[in-house]
Structure 1
Amino acid sequence: MNALTRKLTAAMPAMLLCASLSGVTTMSYADTSNPNAPVSMIDKWDKTFAESNKVNHRKVSFQNRYGITLVGDLYIPKDRGDRKLAAIAVNGPFGAVKEQSSGLYAQTMAEQGFVTLAFDPSYTGESGGNPRNVASPDINTEDFSAAVDFLGLQTEVDRNRIGILGICGWGGMALNAAAMDTRIKAVATSVMYDMSRAMGHGVGDGKDRYTTADRHAVLQYLNEQRWKDAENGTFAHGGHDIYVDEKGNVTASERILPETLPADPHPVLKEFFDYYRMPRGFHERSVNSTGAWTATTPLSFMNMPLLSYAKEITIPTLIVTGENAHSRYFAEDAYKAVGSKDKALIVVPGANHVDLYDNVAGKIPFSQFKEFFETRLK
C-alpha cells in the first residue's frame, strides 16, 4: 500500500459505503423506451439470506412522486389470517439493494408479526431512474414516502400503523422523512449515517474531517467534473474517496472497494470488504459490491442537510448503533437532535458498523426493534 492509498483508506470518507454497476451487463431495462421503468422484476429467490418459511413473499412495484418506478419485496406473516397489521418500510444501507441487509431486516420483522417492505431506491438495483447509480437527499427521502403510499393501499395493512426503518446511510433519510411525512407513526435507525454530514464534512474518527477550505476544494473538484460530464455527454463514475491534502489538492479513487484487500487494510475498509465483496453479502446489483456512484453524487448532499428539522420529529424514535461502530457519533448526535419526547438510543455492546448489517446471532437487536414497533404502532 503506497503512502497516498494509506492516507485515503485511513481517512475513511463517507463514500466508502459506495460502489458501482459500471461494467455489469447482465441487467437491462424491462422497457427500453421508458428510462424510468424498473430494471427487472426477478421472481427467483436471489437474496444474500435464507428464505423464511414463516412469511409469504412477493415482488412489488410502485411509483414515487417523481414518476420513478420503485421495485420492492413485500413480506407478510403466514399466520396473519384476515387481520390488518402494522407495517414497516425498510431501506439501506446506502448503496445496498433489497436483497442484502434491508431484506434481512424486513423478513425478520415480518416473522415478528409486521407487514414489511424492503425496496430499492431510485436509480439503483431493480428500481427505475436514469442515469444509474446516483443518489439524492430529496428523491431518496421521497422514496420512503412512496413506500408509505404503497403500504397504505395494501389490504393487509392498517394505514394508521406504518413505521419506517433506515439502515446506515438510509438512517438519515428515514429521520428526514419522519420530520416531513405525518403518516409515519414511528421511526427507527440502525448504525445510521447522516449522508449530508458525511459527504459535506468528511467521515473522521468520531468527528467531521473537512475544514471550510477542504469543503471548498471538494466542491471545486466536483464542479470541474460537471464540465467533463457535460463535454462527454455521460456521467463518470467513481471518485468518491475524496482526500484533500495540506495544500488543498484533491485526489479521488477510481473505485471504493478493491477487487482484493491491500496488505494491512484499514479496519473499516476490511469490514465493508468482508461484507460487500465476499459471498456473505455480495450482490451483483449492489452499488457497494461492484464499483462506484456517479462522480458528482455528493454535490446535492453537501448543501442540503438531512437533519435540519430533526427537532420537529415528534413521533417515537429508536436509534441503534454499535459500541465499536465508526459511525456511532452520527447516531449519538442524531439522538440529541431529535425533538421527540419518546426516543431511545441503544448501543450494542461489542458491535462494529457492519455487524448490524447481518449478524443475527448476537448483534442485531431484533427483539428490541420488535418491542419498539409493537408498542408504538398500536
Structure 2
Amino acid sequence: MITNAEPVSNSSRRALLKMTSLGIATAGVLSAITLATAVNAQPSAPLQLGSEWDKTFAKSDKVEHSKVTFKNRYGITLAADLYVPKNSSGKLAAIVVGGPFGAVKEQSSGLYAQMMAERGFITLAFDPSYTGESGGEPRNVASPDINTEDFSAAVDFIGLLQNVDRERIGMIGICGWGGMALNAVAADKRIKAVVASTMYDMTRVMSKGYNDSVSPAQRAQTLEQLSRQRWEDAASGKPAYQPAYNTPPQGGEPQFMLDYHAYYGTPRGYHQRAVNSGNAWTLTTPLSFMNMPILSYINEISPRPILFVHGEKAHSRYFAETAYDAAAQPKELMIIEGASHVDLYDQIDKIPFDKLTDFFRKNL
C-alpha cells in the first residue's frame, strides 16, 4: 500500500501497519494479525505518577517541571507534565502539546513543551486517554472524539492556573495528534493559535490507507473483519491486540519504517510506556476512525492562525499540504529542507523552535 516503494516482506508489512496504527485497515494483512494477543497492555491501577525524570531528553535548568492530573469531559483522568519558566512572574501565555500518535509525554511532546517553556511560555504535555500514565480502560485504544476532547481538557486545566492568561492559549499537535489538535481548535474557540508539526490525518490514513490507496472492496473487507472481531472481544471479555513492533528491522522496509524504529526502538526515543515502543493498540482501534474525517471543519479555525511544519522528505507531507489547502487564512506551510517525518520528533537542529516562538509571541 506504499507508493513508489519496493515490495515489503510479510514481517515488514506487519511492522508498517503497527507503527502507523493502520492495524487492519489495509487489505492483505488481515489474516496475519487476527490471532494477535495482548502485549504489555495490563489493566491500569489508580494513577500513581512516578517522581523520577524518565524523559527521552535532558532536563532543562531553565524551567520548573511538575507532574499534574486533570479529568476530561468523559471523566477519564489524564496525566501531564507542566513546564513553567524559572523566575517568571505575572500571567503568561500558555501552550498545550500532544503527540505523536502512539507516543507518550516523555518523548516528543515533552521535548517541545520544555523547549517552548524555555522561551517564556507555560506549557503542558499530556498522555492521551488510555495510554501512558493516563487513565482509561481498556489500555492502548484511541478515539478521534475522545482524543480531541483530551486537548480541550488540557485547555480547561491550564486556563485555570493563576499564572496563565487564559485569553492567550495556543496548541501544538505532533504527527497524528497534529490532526487531532486542528480538530480541537476548530471547535474550541478558546485556543488562539495552533501549530501542526509533521502531521498525520489519522482518520484518512486508517480509512483509506497511505496516499488513499485502499479500494472500496478492501475497505469493506476490513470493516467486515473488524465487525466480527467485536464478537471475539465480547466473548473473551477483553480486547485482542495488534502485533507489537519491538523487533529490529528485518530488511525490505521502506525508509520511513526504519526512521520510526530508529526513534521508538532505540535509546534515542524508546520509552516503555509508549504504544509504539514495543506495545500495541487494540485490534479494533481503527473502527472509530473509519467513518470520522476529523478535518471537515478546518476552515472554521479562521481567523485564528495555523502554522503547518513538515519535512521536505517526509512520507506524510501530503497530509499537511492537503490540510493547508483546505484551511482558511491566516495560514502558513513551512517545509523544512532535507527533513524526514521523524526528524521533527526530536532533532532540535531541524525543528524550527525560533519560528514557533515568533508565531506564538505574535498570535497569543
TM-score norm. by structure 2 comes to 0.90
Mark the runs of 5 or more structure 1 residues left unpaired by the alignment: 31-37, 239-253
Counterpart position of 1:250: none
Q: Which residue of the other structure, out of 186, 210, 230, is the alignment partner of 1:179?
A: 186
Does 2:154 match 1:138?
no
Distance 1:63 1:11, change over 3 A: closer
Query: Over aligned residue pairs, what C-alpha RMSD do you find?
Result: 2.2
> What is the match of residue 229 of structure 1?
233
Shift of 1:233: 1.0
2:184 counterpart of 1:167: no
Residue in 1 that maps onto 2:326? 337
Tell me by how many angstroms 1:261 deviates: 1.3
Mapped pair 1:29 → 2:29: no
Counterpart residue number, 2:81: 73
- Structure 1 counterpart of 2:356, one-letter code: F
The equivalences for 1:331-370 within 5 A come to 331-339=320-328, 341-360=329-348, 362-370=349-357
For the residues of structure 1 that align with 2:22 and 2:266, how far apart are their CA atoms?
16
- Alpha-carbon distance change, 225 to 183 in structure 1, aligned in 2, over 3 angstroms: same
Letter in 2 for 1:155: Q
Q: Is 1:372 the counterpart of 2:356 in the alignment?
A: no
- 2:49 is aligned to 41
Could you tell me how far apart the structure 2 residues matched to 1:23 and 1:347 are? Answer: 37
Q: Which amino acid aligns with 1:227?
A: W
Paired letter, 2:324: Y
Q: Following the alignment from structure 1 to structure 2, what is the Cα–Cα distance between the partners of residues 89 and 2?
A: 38
Contact 2:131 2:141 in 1 (8 A): yes
Shift of 1:9: 6.1
In structure 2, which of residues 282, 300, 306 is the aligned counterpart of residue 317 of structure 1?
A: 306
In the alignment, which residue of structure 2 is the partner of 1:15?
Answer: 21
**Equivalent runs, 1:10-159 vs 2, <5 Å:** 14-15=20-21, 22-23=39-40, 28-30=44-46, 38=47, 40-80=48-88, 82-159=89-166
Distance 1:142 1:23 in 2: 25
2:317 to 328, 352, 360: 328
Contact kept, 8 Å, 1:88 with 1:162, in 2: the verdict is yes
The amino acid of 1:89's aligned partner reads V
Contact 2:44 2:135 in 1 (8 A): no
Give the distance between the partners of 2:213 and 2:142, measured in 1 at CA.
22
Aligned match of 2:31 = none
The structure-2 alpha-carbon separation of the partners of 1:299 and 1:181, relative to structure 1 and needing over 3 Å to count, comes to same
Displacement after TM superposition at 1:335 (Å): 0.6
Measured in 2, the distance between the counterparts of 1:2 and 1:73 equals 39
Q: What is the distance in 2 between the residues matched to 1:329 and 1:54? A: 36
Aligned mates of 1:115, 1:21 — CA distance in 2: 37
Query: Displacement, 1:24?
Result: 6.4
The CA distance in 1 between the partners of 2:321 and 2:39, in whole Å, is 35
Letter in 1 for 2:199: M
Paired residues in the alignment total: 346
Looking at structure 1, the residues matched to 287 and 209 of structure 2 have their Cα atoms a distance apart, in angstroms, of 13
Q: Is the 8 A contact 1:17 1:272 kept in 2?
A: no
CA distance in 2, matches of 1:312, 1:74: 29
Q: C-alpha separation between the residues in 2 aligned to 1:303 and 1:127?
A: 26
Shift of 1:5: 3.7
Answer whether contact 2:241 2:281 (CA < 8 A) is retained.
Answer: yes
Paired letter, 1:87: A
Identical positions, percent: 57
Residue type at the aligned position of 1:4: N
- Aligned to 2:277, the other structure's residue is in SS state helix
